[in-house]
Amino acid sequence: MSERSMPHRDEPLFAILEAVADRQGVDVLELPPLGHVVDTDALTTVLADASGPVTVSFRYEGSEITVDDRGRVQVDDVAASPVSDEAGRRRA
């Protein structure tokens, strides 16, 4: 698990990318655009306009990202889940 606090409330997107890059040991510029997996405008608005506790989680680059209205960003590895076929049966 990797955790980082945002230096400014208006910088959640960069803080997320920086935390993921740190976790993966790569440069931020090597990551695909965050906008491919989450509406970045909506995320920024939700976090900036929160009138109470808000936590948003989503998957990005093999990690579960959790960010809250206080500026904390947490990056956890996504546990491998078994693959199921169309009937819902577990496959190896």
pTM of the model: 0.72
Instruction: Give the mean model confidence (pLDDT) for residues 65-92.
Output: 70
| Mean pLDDT of the residues in the chain | 81
**Domain range annotation of the chain:** 2-79
The sign one gets for the Cα dihedral 21, 73, 40, 8 is negative
Distance CA 63, CA 77 (A): 5
pLDDT confidence of 57, banded at 50, 70, 90?
very high
Tens digit of pLDDT for each residue in 22-54? 999 999 999 999 999 999 999 999 988 888 899
pLDDT at 84 over 70: no
The sign one gets for the Cα dihedral 30, 56, 37, 83 is positive
Instruction: Give the mean model confidence (pLDDT) for residues 60-70.
Output: 92
pLDDT at 74: 94
